[in-house]
Amino acid sequence: MNATSARLGRFITLEGGEGAGKSTQSRLLAERLRLRGFECVTTREPGGSPGAERLREILLSGAVAPLGATAEALLFTAARIDHLDHTIRPALARGAFVVCDRFADSTRAYQGALGNLDPVLIRALEHTAVGRTHPDLTLILDLPVEVGLARANARRGDAAADRFEREGQAFHEGLRKAFLEIAAQEPARCAVIDASRSVSEIADLIWAAVESRLLAPSAKGVA
Protein backbone atom coordinates (compact mmCIF):
# COMPACT_ATOMS: atom_id res chain seq x y z
CA MET A 1 0.00 0.00 0.00
CA ASN A 2 1.51 3.37 -0.89
CA ALA A 3 0.65 7.08 -0.97
CA THR A 4 -1.19 6.75 -4.24
CA SER A 5 -3.54 3.95 -3.10
CA ALA A 6 -7.25 4.57 -3.65
CA ARG A 7 -8.80 6.50 -0.79
CA LEU A 8 -12.49 6.46 0.06
CA GLY A 9 -12.66 7.09 3.81
CA ARG A 10 -12.12 10.22 5.84
CA PHE A 11 -9.05 11.02 7.91
CA ILE A 12 -9.44 13.10 11.09
CA THR A 13 -6.54 14.03 13.35
CA LEU A 14 -6.58 15.54 16.85
CA GLU A 15 -3.71 17.74 17.93
CA GLY A 16 -2.82 19.93 20.87
CA GLY A 17 -0.70 20.13 23.99
CA GLU A 18 -0.33 17.95 27.02
CA GLY A 19 -3.60 16.93 28.70
CA ALA A 20 -5.75 18.67 26.08
CA GLY A 21 -8.14 15.70 26.00
CA LYS A 22 -7.20 14.24 22.63
CA SER A 23 -7.49 10.59 23.73
CA THR A 24 -10.81 11.21 25.50
CA GLN A 25 -12.27 13.06 22.52
CA SER A 26 -10.94 10.56 19.94
CA ARG A 27 -12.89 7.84 21.72
CA LEU A 28 -16.09 9.92 21.96
CA LEU A 29 -15.90 11.00 18.32
CA ALA A 30 -15.44 7.39 17.20
CA GLU A 31 -18.50 6.36 19.24
CA ARG A 32 -20.60 9.05 17.56
CA LEU A 33 -19.41 8.09 14.09
CA ARG A 34 -20.21 4.42 14.76
CA LEU A 35 -23.69 5.37 15.96
CA ARG A 36 -24.18 7.01 12.58
CA GLY A 37 -23.26 3.71 10.95
CA PHE A 38 -19.70 4.49 9.87
CA GLU A 39 -16.77 2.15 10.39
CA CYS A 40 -14.25 4.06 12.47
CA VAL A 41 -10.67 3.14 13.32
CA THR A 42 -9.11 4.95 16.29
CA THR A 43 -5.35 5.14 16.37
CA ARG A 44 -2.51 7.27 17.72
CA GLU A 45 0.99 8.58 17.13
CA PRO A 46 3.65 7.78 17.82
CA GLY A 47 2.39 4.24 17.39
CA GLY A 48 -0.72 2.78 15.83
CA SER A 49 0.93 -0.26 14.21
CA PRO A 50 3.15 -2.97 15.72
CA GLY A 51 6.36 -1.50 14.29
CA ALA A 52 5.46 2.06 15.23
CA GLU A 53 4.47 1.02 18.77
CA ARG A 54 8.00 -0.35 19.25
CA LEU A 55 9.42 2.99 18.12
CA ARG A 56 6.99 4.79 20.48
CA GLU A 57 8.58 3.04 23.47
CA ILE A 58 12.03 4.23 22.43
CA LEU A 59 10.89 7.80 21.67
CA LEU A 60 8.95 8.32 24.91
CA SER A 61 11.71 6.78 27.01
CA GLY A 62 13.88 9.78 26.14
CA ALA A 63 16.64 7.56 24.70
CA VAL A 64 16.67 9.49 21.42
CA ALA A 65 16.59 13.00 22.91
CA PRO A 66 20.39 13.20 23.45
CA LEU A 67 20.84 12.54 19.71
CA GLY A 68 19.02 15.80 18.94
CA ALA A 69 15.82 17.00 17.29
CA THR A 70 16.82 15.78 13.82
CA ALA A 71 17.21 12.21 15.05
CA GLU A 72 13.89 12.43 16.88
CA ALA A 73 12.15 13.79 13.78
CA LEU A 74 13.57 10.94 11.68
CA LEU A 75 12.33 8.35 14.15
CA PHE A 76 8.86 9.91 14.42
CA THR A 77 8.79 9.87 10.61
CA ALA A 78 9.84 6.21 10.47
CA ALA A 79 7.03 5.35 12.89
CA ARG A 80 4.57 7.40 10.76
CA ILE A 81 5.52 5.52 7.58
CA ASP A 82 4.80 2.17 9.26
CA HIS A 83 1.56 3.48 10.77
CA LEU A 84 0.32 4.84 7.44
CA ASP A 85 1.20 1.66 5.56
CA HIS A 86 -0.25 -0.82 8.03
CA THR A 87 -3.16 0.99 9.68
CA ILE A 88 -4.25 4.30 8.16
CA ARG A 89 -4.17 3.71 4.41
CA PRO A 90 -5.78 0.23 4.55
CA ALA A 91 -8.65 1.67 6.65
CA LEU A 92 -9.15 4.67 4.34
CA ALA A 93 -9.02 2.40 1.29
CA ARG A 94 -11.99 0.36 2.56
CA GLY A 95 -13.96 3.54 3.27
CA ALA A 96 -13.55 3.82 7.05
CA PHE A 97 -13.14 6.95 9.11
CA VAL A 98 -9.73 7.11 10.77
CA VAL A 99 -9.53 9.16 13.98
CA CYS A 100 -5.89 9.65 14.92
CA ASP A 101 -4.57 11.06 18.21
CA ARG A 102 -1.64 13.21 16.96
CA PHE A 103 -0.11 13.13 13.47
CA ALA A 104 2.30 15.18 11.33
CA ASP A 105 1.37 18.53 12.92
CA SER A 106 2.97 17.23 16.12
CA THR A 107 6.28 16.86 14.26
CA ARG A 108 5.87 20.40 12.89
CA ALA A 109 5.21 21.73 16.41
CA TYR A 110 7.52 19.65 18.65
CA GLN A 111 10.52 18.99 16.40
CA GLY A 112 10.01 21.91 14.00
CA ALA A 113 8.91 24.93 16.03
CA LEU A 114 10.34 23.83 19.39
CA GLY A 115 13.25 21.71 18.19
CA ASN A 116 14.26 24.54 15.84
CA LEU A 117 14.61 22.20 12.88
CA ASP A 118 14.73 23.74 9.42
CA PRO A 119 11.15 23.98 8.06
CA VAL A 120 12.47 22.67 4.72
CA LEU A 121 13.55 19.44 6.42
CA ILE A 122 10.24 19.14 8.29
CA ARG A 123 8.30 19.61 5.02
CA ALA A 124 10.49 17.07 3.21
CA LEU A 125 10.00 14.46 5.94
CA GLU A 126 6.24 15.09 5.98
CA HIS A 127 6.07 14.82 2.20
CA THR A 128 8.03 11.53 2.25
CA ALA A 129 5.88 9.92 4.94
CA VAL A 130 2.43 11.36 4.30
CA GLY A 131 2.40 11.74 0.53
CA ARG A 132 -1.21 12.44 -0.39
CA THR A 133 -2.67 11.00 2.81
CA HIS A 134 -3.30 14.40 4.37
CA PRO A 135 -5.95 14.67 7.09
CA ASP A 136 -9.35 15.85 5.81
CA LEU A 137 -9.90 17.57 9.15
CA THR A 138 -7.54 18.43 12.00
CA LEU A 139 -9.06 19.33 15.35
CA ILE A 140 -6.67 21.52 17.33
CA LEU A 141 -7.62 21.19 20.99
CA ASP A 142 -6.55 24.48 22.54
CA LEU A 143 -6.42 25.28 26.26
CA PRO A 144 -4.27 27.24 28.73
CA VAL A 145 -1.03 25.37 29.44
CA GLU A 146 -1.56 25.22 33.20
CA VAL A 147 -4.98 23.58 32.77
CA GLY A 148 -3.58 20.90 30.45
CA LEU A 149 -0.57 20.20 32.67
CA ALA A 150 -2.78 19.95 35.77
CA ARG A 151 -4.99 17.40 34.00
CA ALA A 152 -1.99 15.38 32.80
CA ASN A 153 -0.32 15.46 36.24
CA ALA A 154 -3.53 14.37 37.97
CA ARG A 155 -3.92 11.47 35.58
CA ARG A 156 -0.26 10.39 35.94
CA GLY A 157 -0.36 10.28 39.75
CA ASP A 158 2.94 8.91 41.08
CA ALA A 159 4.11 7.50 37.71
CA ALA A 160 7.27 8.98 36.15
CA ALA A 161 6.86 11.78 33.57
CA ASP A 162 7.83 10.89 29.99
CA ARG A 163 10.41 12.73 27.86
CA PHE A 164 7.97 15.51 26.83
CA GLU A 165 6.07 15.76 30.12
CA ARG A 166 9.40 16.69 31.74
CA GLU A 167 9.62 19.93 29.69
CA GLY A 168 8.82 23.24 31.46
CA GLN A 169 6.07 25.87 31.14
CA ALA A 170 7.85 27.88 28.39
CA PHE A 171 8.10 24.77 26.20
CA HIS A 172 4.39 24.11 26.54
CA GLU A 173 3.51 27.78 25.86
CA GLY A 174 5.59 27.56 22.67
CA LEU A 175 3.76 24.41 21.72
CA ARG A 176 0.36 26.06 22.11
CA LYS A 177 1.50 28.94 19.90
CA ALA A 178 2.88 26.55 17.27
CA PHE A 179 -0.42 24.65 16.99
CA LEU A 180 -2.42 27.89 16.73
CA GLU A 181 -0.08 29.06 13.95
CA ILE A 182 -0.66 25.83 12.02
CA ALA A 183 -4.43 26.36 12.37
CA ALA A 184 -4.11 29.95 11.13
CA GLN A 185 -2.03 28.85 8.13
CA GLU A 186 -4.45 26.06 7.11
CA PRO A 187 -7.98 27.10 8.11
CA ALA A 188 -9.62 24.85 5.50
CA ARG A 189 -8.12 21.78 7.17
CA CYS A 190 -7.95 22.87 10.82
CA ALA A 191 -10.64 23.71 13.37
CA VAL A 192 -9.59 25.17 16.72
CA ILE A 193 -11.64 23.69 19.57
CA ASP A 194 -11.90 25.30 23.03
CA ALA A 195 -10.59 22.39 25.10
CA SER A 196 -10.92 24.17 28.46
CA ARG A 197 -14.63 23.26 28.56
CA SER A 198 -16.28 20.12 29.95
CA VAL A 199 -15.79 16.77 28.21
CA SER A 200 -19.33 16.77 26.79
CA GLU A 201 -19.19 20.40 25.62
CA ILE A 202 -15.92 19.71 23.76
CA ALA A 203 -17.43 16.56 22.23
CA ASP A 204 -20.34 18.66 20.93
CA LEU A 205 -17.98 21.29 19.45
CA ILE A 206 -16.03 18.53 17.72
CA TRP A 207 -19.15 16.88 16.38
CA ALA A 208 -20.36 20.22 15.00
CA ALA A 209 -17.05 20.64 13.16
CA VAL A 210 -17.19 17.08 11.77
CA GLU A 211 -20.81 17.47 10.66
CA SER A 212 -20.30 20.81 8.95
CA ARG A 213 -16.96 19.99 7.33
CA LEU A 214 -17.27 16.30 6.46
CA LEU A 215 -20.86 15.07 6.74
CA ALA A 216 -23.06 17.92 5.48
CA PRO A 217 -24.40 17.40 1.93
CA SER A 218 -22.48 20.51 0.91
CA ALA A 219 -19.18 19.07 2.23
CA LYS A 220 -16.81 17.88 -0.48
CA GLY A 221 -16.75 14.09 -1.00
CA VAL A 222 -19.36 13.08 1.59
CA ALA A 223 -18.36 9.78 3.22
Nearby residues of 127 by Cβ (< 8 Å), 6 or more positions away: none
In sign, the C-alpha dihedral spanning 52, 55, 57, 62 is negative
| Alpha carbon distance, N-terminus to C-terminus of the chain | 21
Is residue 20 near ligand Z5A by the rule CB under 6 A?
Answer: yes
Is residue 110 near ligand Z5A by the rule CB under 6 A?
Answer: yes
User: Which residues make beta-bridge pairs with 41?
Assistant: 98
Binding to ligand Z5A by CB under 6 A, coded x per residue (else -) over 53-92, reads -----------------------x----------------
If the CB atoms of residues 11 and 110 are measured against ligand Z5A, the closer one turns out to be 110
From 17, 11, 53, 14, select the one nearest 167 (Cα to Cα).
17
Q: What CA–CA distance (Å, rounded) separates 134 from 7?
A: 11
If the CB atoms of residues 154 and 221 are measured against ligand Z5A, the closer one turns out to be 154
Q: Residues in contact with ligand Z5A, total (CB under 6 A)? A: 23
Among 170, 184, 199, 222, binds ligand Z5A (CB under 6 A): 199
Stretch that binds ligand Z5A, among 12-20, 121-129, 132-140, 211-219 (CB under 6 A): 12-20
Length of the chain equals 223
Binding site for ligand Z5A (CB under 6 A): 18-24, 45-46, 76, 102, 106-107, 110-111, 151-152, 155, 164-165, 198-199, 202
